[in-house]
Amino acid sequence: MKVYSLQANLELGNVENNIQKIFSFINNVEKNSLLLLPEMFSSGFDNENLEKHVKKTPEIYKKLKNLSKEKNLVISGTLPEKSRGNIYNKAFIIDKGEIIYKQAKVKLFKPTGEDKFFKSGKSFDVVETSVGNLGIMICFELRFPNISYTLRKKGVEIILVPAQWGKPRKMHFEVLSKARAIENQCFLISSNTTGKIGDIEYAGSSGIYSPWGETLAFIDEDEGLIEADIKLNEIYKVRRLIKMDI
């Protein structure tokens, strides 16, 4: 099975240009694949203008659903959404043209003020999809092993990490991504932004990692789409070799 991760530089608040760029990269992904997009890929953290950006999210979902249906893709990432008067940084999973799961970011990153603009989510789950059992850790949540442990107990096979992770903590992103794959004996796919977006410099370092901790694909600070061929049975080979009680 082919899996992809997109790493891109975004224009803060420029939804139209960002979506055009995203689709210029992803239109050529192979059919029957898994595609991960970065966190808040439509607007970036243009927090002062979220009320405007959430209105554009339904149309973005429509475009992604059409692509998913056309190519039989599973697509994930995060977008700003408004619900019951609150704005959430919400992850989604689209499978064969339908949104089958959403999960709001639970661990908001207070150093950049996320908690002042977003309401936090409450839970984590694993979703059965056409490409395997998926779990999501949004950016800062990667630092919390109890979250990935929860996903492992629920039978996760692939952990998805959509992110906007800052460059000063670049090494942390690389090490933690690989560590979460190793300790949970699963595949992990991370999709980060890169370059300067607004006043913040982002780390890049998106990757695809095996249950054994091998780096199957990696991109440093360039923009681009990375890919790898994975086999889910590798997960169970590793789990049989080194048994860990969950």
The per-residue pLDDT string of the chain (246 residues; one tens digit each, 9 = 90 and over) reads 999 999 999 999 999 999 999 999 999 899 999 999 999 999 999 999 999 999 999 999 999 999 999 999 999 999 999 999 999 999 999 999 999 999 999 999 999 999 999 999 999 999 999 999 999 999 999 999 999 999 999 999 999 999 999 999 999 999 999 999 999 999 999 999 999 999 999 999 999 999 999 999 999 999 999 999 999 999 999 999 999 877
Report yes or no: 179 and 143 within 8 Å, Cβ to Cβ.
no
pTM of the complete model beyond 0.95: yes
Structural domains in the chain plus CATH codes? 2-241 (3.60.110.10)
Give me the long-range contacts of 102-111 (CB less than 8 A, separation at least 24).
103/136, 103/138, 105/78, 105/138, 105/139, 105/140, 105/141, 106/138, 106/141, 106/147, 107/138, 107/140, 107/141, 107/143, 107/144, 107/147, 108/140, 109/139, 109/140
pLDDT for res 86: 98
Q: What is the spatial distance between Cα 67 and Cα 231, in angstroms, rounded to a whole number?
A: 24
Token pair for residue 162?
A: 């959509």
